[in-house]
Each structure stands twice: as structure tokens, then as C-alpha cells.
Amino acid sequence: MASNDAPILPGRLGNPDLQLRDDPRADPRMLAAMAPIGMDVQPPAAPVGLDSPIDDVLEFVGQAEAAFDGMFTAVGSDPTPLADVERTTEVIRGVDGNDITLYIHRKAGDTTPRPGILHLHGGGMVMLEAAGESYQRWRDEFAAAGLVVVGVEFRNGAGKHGPFPFPAGLNDCASALAWVGENKGRLGITKLVVSGESGGGNLTLATTLKAKRDGRLGLIDGVYAQCPYISGLYAAKDPSLVSLYENDGFMIDCSMAGALVKAYDPTGDNTTNPLAWPYHASADDLSGLPPHVISVNQLDPLRDEGLAYHRKLLASGVSSVSRTVNGTCHAGDCIFAEAMPDVYRATIRDIAGFANSL
């Protein structure tokens, strides 16, 4: 006999007051790591937004950056460098005349040509840094897996590497791409994947779109974007992006995400510019792009914008694979290396396998 009971909707669609720690979908190992620092409950609403003075927004982002640095220290991977990885740095001149530091990681003593990754760190394009311990370890992991990794210290819209709003950071990523393309032989890189998570996922997709516009698309063999922060539609939520409602406050609060939008594009002139917010890319923008993987997290407010981009790629004839990491919050498969090593390593395997398959 059919039941007349209404279906139980997931997350905050079913219960607007639900906390992440009470969501039955959440991986209990992740929750155990989050609880001691209060990450398993909704963070306070951001005190600033799109209508706030830019100086107030920049101050807030600086405070948020310090908080995220502390979080990564508390729950992140072991910062000890891997013994079989060598690290070097290069300082290049960007298209805007600024210096850009590149962090290059490869397996020690390995001179065999290998696939490469141009890695773009997260932080909403407005905070955090490639020099951070968790990102150094992330690059080490890929180098140990036999890849050549180049991390880009691009300018941010705020924080310690700011304030340089759009398109400064994107220009730095494009400059790094051009440099890697010119130095593939010296670096021992055969194929190149552009990859990053969150804001780095935005810049991964935007760098690819810009490469097409600049006639440099041939430098990119594959694109792997994790939990990409690409719509800009957080202050006034897009109803078609259900996860913005379902998972709002699960580590990421949409009010905070909206504040970061202001720091990245203070004037609001680039609201639908796909180089700022790739979610708004047209079929013409996407056609002819190299193979993509779009990886998202089940309990992330940003989940559905990543999946929507994946569908746009398919509709434009681009090879694209989507991947949803169940039980995890935003970037949970990158953050909780100690609590969920199997999940962490599965993502490393997938990115490395994608690079090797091209």
C-alpha cells in the first residue's frame, strides 16, 4: 500500500534548523574532526555583504583568512615534507608587470618526462596562499605519485596577498600557464592538467576559458576542478541551485560567500562575466575545450553550480566527467587527510589517474 507521507527532503530543505553534525549523510569521521573546533555547526553570518563598504569587506576577509589558516592547522594533513620529493621555486614576471612565485614539486632524482599539474589554490580568489602548509603537502602528494606540479602564488582580492581584485589573480594564473607552456621541456612535462579547489576551481575553469580567448588553449590537455566556486549567486540565491538552500551553513555560509564576491569584484561590473564567474559561460565559450572532470561534495552549498557547469560542458560537446564525494562538506576530500585518509587518497588517485590518461 502506498504511503501518504510526504518525502523527507535532504539537509535544510527538510529541516531549516538542521546542523551539519545532525545530518545523517555526513561522514562520522569528518564530524569527529570538525567538532573540537566548532566546524560541525553553522558559522556566524558574515557581518558584511554586497552593500558594505569595501574597506569593511577587506577587513572581514583578513579575519576569515586567519580563521581558515587555523582550521587547516587543526584538521589538515601532516605538514612534514615528503622525503622523496624535491621542491624548487621560480619567480616569473606576470602580464601586469608583477612578480609571481611558482612552487615546483617533483619526485626526487626523477628525470623521466611526466604529466604535469598547474595547481591553483582555494580561498575564494581573495585569501589563502600557495605557500600554505596544506597546499605544499597537496603538491607533494602528486609529485610522489609521479607528476610534476607547479603551484601559483597569484594575487588575491584581499588578505595577505591582496587587495588585487579581478582580473589580477586570473592574469597571474594565465601568466603561469604561458610560462609552463614555454618551459615544458625543461620541466619534463608531457601533458598539462590545470587543477584547483573552491576558488582555485573557479580559476581553473576561468584560466581555461581565458586560454581559449587568448589562443593558448593548446597548452591545456585536461581540466580538473574541485568544488568550484563559480556562480557568484550567494547573496541572492539562484533557486535553480538547490544546494545553496539544502547545505547553507554546512561549513560554508552563503552570507560569507557573498561577502567574498564583493572582495573579488568590488564594483559588481563582472557579475555575469564568465572569466570572473565561469557558471555564466555560454556554449560558444565552452565549445572546443579539453576534457574536464568536475568533482563536487555532497554536503556543499556549491555542489549544484559545479554539476550545472558539467552539464553545460556536455551540452557543448566537451568530454566531461562529474564526481560527487558523498558524506563530505566543501573540499572535505582535500581537508581531512588525517581523519579520512582513504577519501583524501582517493581524490589524489583520481586526479593523478586523469593526468596519466590524457
- Note the pLDDT tens digit of each residue in 133-183: 999 999 999 999 999 999 999 999 999 999 999 999 999 999 999 999 999
Q: What is the pLDDT of residues 157-170, one digit of tens each?
A: 999 999 999 999 99
More confident residue, 45 or 310: 310
The residue-averaged pLDDT of 304-320 equals 98
Sign of CA dihedral 300, 305, 307, 310: negative
**Grid coordinates standing for 321?**
566527467
Query: Would you say the pTM of this structure is higher than 0.75?
Result: yes
Q: Please report where in the chains the cell 597569484 appears, as a residue.
A: 154
Is 53's pLDDT higher than 90?
yes
Q: Which residues contact 318 (CB under 8 A, 6 or more apart)?
A: 286, 287, 288, 289, 290, 291, 292
Q: Please report where in the chains the cell 600557464 appears, as a residue.
A: 177
Number of CB atoms found within 10 A of residue 209's CB:
18
Q: Are strands 189-197 and 114-120 parallel, antiparallel or unpaired?
A: parallel
Is 311's pLDDT higher than 50?
yes
Which of 49-53, 139-143, 264-268, 308-312 is the least confident region?
Answer: 49-53
304-to-233, 251, 300, 301 alpha-carbon distances in Å: 12, 16, 9, 8
The whole-angstrom separation of Cα 33 and Cα 115 is 34
pLDDT attached to residue 233: 96
Is 45's pLDDT higher than 90?
no
SS3 295: strand
**Grid coordinates standing for 180?**
609552463
Sign of CA dihedral 209, 212, 215, 217: positive
The reply to whether omega before 28 is within 30° of 0 (cis) is no
How confident is the prediction for the chain on average, in pLDDT? 96
The residue-averaged pLDDT of 78-102 equals 94
pLDDT attached to residue 1: 41
pLDDT attached to residue 223: 99
Q: What is the pLDDT of residues 60-78, one digit of tens each?
A: 999 999 999 988 888 877 7
pLDDT attached to residue 3: 56
**Would you list the DSSP string of 114-174?**
EEEEEEE--STTTS--TTSHHHHHHHHHHHHTT-EEEEEEPPPSSGGG----TTHHHHHHH
SS3 224: strand
**Domains in the chain, start-ordered, CATH in brackets?**
26-357 (3.40.50.1820)
Q: What is the pLDDT of residues 194-235, one digit of tens each?
A: 999 999 999 999 999 999 999 999 999 999 999 999 999 998
Tell me the pLDDT band of 4, cut-offs 50, 70 and 90: low
